[in-house]
Amino acid sequence: MTSPAIHVIAKQGDITTEEVDVIVNAANPGLLGGGGVDGAIHAAGGPAILAECRQRKRELPGGQLPRGQAVATTAGRLLARWVVHTAGPVWSPDDDRTEVLTSCYRESLRVAGDLGARSIAFPAISAGVYGWPMDDAARIAVSSVRAAPPGPVREVRFVLFGPEALQVFQRAMG
Ligand code: APR
């Protein structure tokens, strides 16, 4: 059950326009950008984000962000204060990677909380290029946030790119 203090909403929109303390990026282990949310965040936030991604990369063993883990950078020109980059699992019909996707939400909340963030916006991690079925991605996202240990974060927004994804998340929120 969500600690009473956390307010969770789902909305449709472009996550790069959210006015929150932390915007979460659906990144990849290489941390050097990509398409989807990753491409949009770097395009809107500007080169300062990539510069700090390179710094985080240098601090990581093997220069790779393990899937399920999260690191923070500046948000550059975005309205947020920080971007938390997490690398989601790639969907596999043969291998249950639920725990890795759960970890993306839990670790992003932990990193955001350590920064003192009060509000955070998540995309539907792994539900795009990484192929995770949206209904299951939404179920995991909502349950992960609700199960997260209490911290400074008081507001969680799931920001969905289309009306279908929004409906799926609203159903998952019950
Ligand atoms: N705002 C909100 N949601 C968005 C936006 C946006 N600007 N752009 C895309 N989305 C949605 C997608 O429609 C999808 O539902 O975010 C969800 C996640 O999709 P991806 O961005 O493809 O992320 P993911 O499936 O986790 O794949 C990550 O893709 O872009 C590359 O570098 C990235 O290798 C990494 C992989």
For residue 116, the domain's CATH number is: 3.40.220.10
Which pair of tokens denotes residue 30?
Answer: 């290489």
Angstrom distance (rounded) from CA 154 to CA 7: 6
Ligand 1 atom showing the smallest separation from residue 88 Cα: 26
Inside any domain, residue 107: yes
Inside any domain, residue 3: no
Does the active-site annotation cover 38? Answer: yes
pLDDT at 5: 76
Inside any domain, residue 85: yes
* Domain of residue 63, residue span: 8-173
Inside any domain, residue 1: no
Tell me what the pLDDT averaged over the chain comes to. 97
pLDDT band at 4 (very low <50, low <70, confident <90, very high): low
Is 3's pLDDT higher than 60?
Answer: no
Is there an atom of ligand 1 within 6 Å of 8 CB? no
Q: Per the structure, how many domains does the chain have? A: 1
Mean pLDDT of 106-125: 98
Is there an atom of ligand 1 within 6 Å of 86 CB? no
What's at 2, amino acid-wise? T
